[in-house]
A and B are shown apart, each in its own frame.
Chain A
């Protein structure tokens, strides 16, 4: 975060990029070492400024936090390497340092949300990351990027204000902002009508940021018109962190009993996520702009994650957390592949991608492999999380839900096939000669694709962490 103003002051884009890369890689190192420490030691607590909790702001890092932080930092580190060439083409030279500053700020905000243990701190970091995200989206080339950023700003600020209302109501009933302290004090006052109202405001606010159907309206435009690196970074991180926030609030602050038994959360979230999966996959099939197609697919995938959470069982929450990780990898790879296409072809419309399978073999191969992961073919990460999801559904005896998950996968086949068909079986445009994308953009893309295969074949590492995290959440606080 300290490096952000420094990056902004740099005159030349290359220097700003170097600073941004240093910041992102260092963040990756820090978050991985945090995860390893948490796996050994248990929960890490750090009191900011030396003021002990609950008077001061506390950073409380447990398994879920560290896992999410690693995801965010990893995607950030890969995306920043990718950004150098991509941004050089899409954003003018004098604005590029500002872009990198916004990138670092956004990363800071997202990491801050993952590790904090104080609810108002969550709001502050949420706004830090959101505001920098709005400005990054607005740097897109198409003029619709501006309206997309504006729409995201309005909806995102409304969501954040709802969260603040929820936090305020919680504070007035319990007198504390620390998450652990809140969890201890809420049961005593839970009968008062204020607490369910606070719960509702928080849920609506977070689902707005999360882009759960029907509050997803900002997402397609924001992802489509933003610069390619921004889409790759944001698609893999911003919504994931909001899912993490949901987990935090439901399980740690309010507790499983309140959220699921009293407030009937599963009855609310499950239908919405099922509709998200079916409706959004359907809409994705009819899109002409491939980035827009992937954006609608993202809303459907978020539906999967929330579906896992709405089961409320260890398997379900594990599936949700696993899908967090896996979707970050898959969508990151897919959007980076589209960025490569944008770089060379200058357009992401389906028609413009005709015959790219021959001209840009590596890029389209990355797209196909990422798409296979999205569908959930065995050997990829997508399969692992779908497997857990179906298991969780069957454990509860809900065969219809498992069926809907499968139907969602089939629809993913349709829209991935649309792109594959045009790319591999179409005729390349004779006047427009395109070469393969530059290595500096291909390598990050393939890093994510290979990671999605590696974690798909050997899923024990992530599955263990996710299961342990889910158990920690469901068990409540130590």
Chain B
């Protein structure tokens, strides 16, 4: 049981990843594809953050000890994956922004955001 409930985070990550990836591949609407990509990336973010948590760990902030110095032997969660994911979130936002602006231009040029209709228009050309 511990496998299922203890690792609930990771199960959620897998489910989200697959949902996102499927949407990315299977949907023909361009905006839905971008949303799928974003869900996929969010799942990865969650994965990293889950890696960071250490059982019984507290926030990675210096705690004052008795004499005004940092306390020793404090168990803290790993901040590095969080830092990495801040970068990844920014990259994801930038990608999404670029993708959506492309979709806007595509809509102006083709009049539709459905991939199949776009392909049909290109083939008819």
Chain A residues with CB under 8 Å of chain B are 120, 123-124, 127, 131, 134-135, 138, 143-144, 146-147, 149-150, 153-154, 157-158, 160-161, 164-165, 168, 171-172, 177
Contacts and interface: CB of A to CB of B under 8 A. Distances in A.
A150 B103 contact: yes
B81 A171 contact: yes
A120 B87 CA distance: 10
Contacts of B99: 150, 153-154, 157
A401 to B, nearest CB: 33
Given A120-B84, A127-B94, 7 more contacts: A123-B91, A124-B91, A131-B95, A146-B105, A154-B99, A168-B81, A177-B84
A158 B30 contact: no
Contacts of A147: 106, 118, 122
A157 B99 CA distance: 10
B58 to A, nearest CB: 19
A426 B18 CA distance: 53
A237 to B, nearest CB: 20
B95 A127 contact: yes
Interface in B38-73: 40-41, 44, 47-48, 51
Contact of B102 (A120, A144, A150, A171): A150
B37 interface: yes
B87 A168 contact: no
Contacts of A120: 84, 87
Nearest to A134: B98
B9 to A, nearest CB: 13
Contacts of B91: 123-124, 127, 131, 160
A168 B102 contact: no
A131 B95 CA distance: 7
Interface string B93-116: 011001100110110011000000
B24 interface: yes
B41 to A, nearest CB: 6
Contacts of B95: 127, 131, 153, 157
Contact of B106 (A146, A164, A168, A171): A146
Contacts of B81: 168, 171
Q: Which of A138, A146, A149, A153 has the most CB of B within 10 A?
A: A146
Contacts of B103: 150
Nearest to B51: A172
Contact of B51 (A158, A161, A168, A177): A168
19 contacts: A120-B84, A131-B91, A131-B98, A134-B98, A135-B98, A138-B102, A138-B105, A143-B109, A144-B122, A146-B105, A146-B106, A153-B98, A154-B37, A157-B41, A158-B24, A168-B44, A168-B48, A168-B81, A171-B51
Most interface-central of A144, A154, A171 (chain B CB within 10 A): A154
Contacts of B98: 131, 134-135, 153
A437 to B, nearest CB: 28
Nearest to A168: B48
B79 to A, nearest CB: 12
Contacts of A131: 91, 94-95, 98
> What are the 8 closest A-B residue pairs judged by CB atoms, nearest first?
A143-B109, A172-B51, A127-B91, A150-B102, A146-B106, A157-B95, A168-B48, A146-B105
Contacts of B37: 154, 157-158, 161
A124 B87 contact: yes
B19 interface: no
Contacts of A171: 51, 80-81, 84
B44 A164 contact: yes
Contacts of A154: 24, 33-34, 37, 99
A177 B83 CA distance: 13
Contacts of B102: 134, 138, 146, 149-150, 153
A255 B33 CA distance: 36
Nearest to B104: A146
Nearest to A120: B84
Given A127-B91, A131-B95, A158-B24, A165 B47 contact: yes
